[in-house]
Amino acid sequence: MKHLSKIPEELKGMNKFNKSDDGNVANWSKMRKNTKVIVWSQKLGFQCGSRPLEELIGRVVGGENTVYGQVPWQVLIKESRLFGWLSFRKCGGVLIGDRWVLTAAHCQAGWLGSLDVILGEHDIQLFQQQNANEKVILRKAKRVIIHPEFSRKRLENDIAIIELESEVNFDENIQPICLPKADEDFTNCMAYVSGWGKTSYNSLGYEQGGKDSCEGDSGGPLMVQRNDSSWVLVGIVSNGIRCAEPNLPGVYMRVSKYINWIESL
C-alpha cells in the first residue's frame, strides 16, 4: 500500500470533500451467518491487531510508502458497474473478522453497482499487473449494512459493515485489527492512518497542515498501538475539506461509539 502517514500525538475529537475516489484489548470479532458478533480470538489462538513488521511508516499526504505486511487489515474496495465491464477504485476498508469489513457508509455502490474487496495487497499498481502477488485475495461483497442514522447530506454516522461472500484465511498479510471497547478514550495517543488515495497535496492532521488522509482514503483505518503492541481501530476515515490544509483536519468516525451497534447486528 502506498499511503500511510503518522499523524498528531494528541488525538482530539473524532466523531468538505468526499474522500472516496469516484469524484484492554477488545479481541477481534467474527460474525457468523446470523450476524451476531462473537469474540473468538482466544478460542482459536489468534491475536488481533498484530503485524509482522515493527515500524509503521507509509504514505497518505505527507507520509511514505508502506511495505508488505505493515497494515494487514487494510483492504481496497472497488466498484463494478455494467456487469463488470467498468471497474474503478472506490474506498479503503478495515478487516475486523474473517468475512467482515468496516468502511465509510458513503462508499456504498451506486445504482446497479457492486463492490469487490481486495485483501493482502499493499500497492495498487502491483495488483493491476500480471505478476500480482499470488497471496492477494478478492472477495465480492455479499451485502452492505449501512448505519441506520447515516446522513449522506451531512455525512453523519458515516460507517458501514460489508459482509464478504465467503470467509478469508488469515496469514502474515491478512489479519483483523482489534476493536475498541465502547468506553475507551484515546485522547493524547499517537495515531496512524492508512489509505489508497492521493499523495500530491501539501489532519486528523497537524494544525499547520501537511499530513492528512485524502481522496480515496475514505473507509480506511485510524489506528493506535497499545502497550501490548497490538493495534486497535480508533476511527474510520470519513471526510474533510481539501487535503492536509492548515486548521482543517480530516473527519473520522469514532469506532468506539458504534461498538454497541456492531454487536447488535
* Sequence letter at residue 53: L
pLDDT at 137: 92
Model confidence at 200: pLDDT above 60: no
pLDDT tens column, 208-238: 433 434 444 789 999 998 988 899 999 999 8
Cβ burial 28-59 (10 Å sphere, 16+ → b, else e)? bbbbeeeeebeebbeeeebbbbbbeeeebebb
Tell me, yes or no, whether 81 lies in a domain. Answer: yes
Q: 251 lies in a domain?
A: yes
Task: Give whole-number Cα distances, 36 to 69, 129, 148, 264, in Å.
Answer: 29, 38, 17, 7
Q: How far apart are the first and last CA of the chain?
A: 31
In a domain, 35, yes or no: no
pLDDT of residue 3: 41
Split into its structural domains, the chain has a count of: 1
In this structure, is residue 73 part of a structural domain? yes
d(CA 38, CA 97): 10
Give me the domain span that covers residue 162.
47-56+67-264
Is 11 part of a structural domain of the chain?
A: no
pTM above 0.85, yes or no: no
- Residues 252 and 221: their CA atoms lie apart, in Å, by 9
- Cell numbers that stand for 229 in this block: 503492541
Nearest C-alpha neighbor of 224 from the set 257, 256, 260: 256
Residue 15 maps to a domain:
no
Sequence letter at residue 234: V
Q: Which residues have a catalytic role annotated?
A: 106, 158, 218
Residue that wins the pLDDT comparison between 192 and 139: 139
CATH number, domain containing residue 212: 2.40.10.10
- Please count the other Cβ atoms lying within 10 Å of the Cβ belonging to residue 227: 7
Whether 181 is covered by a domain: the verdict is: yes
CA distance 249 to 242: 9
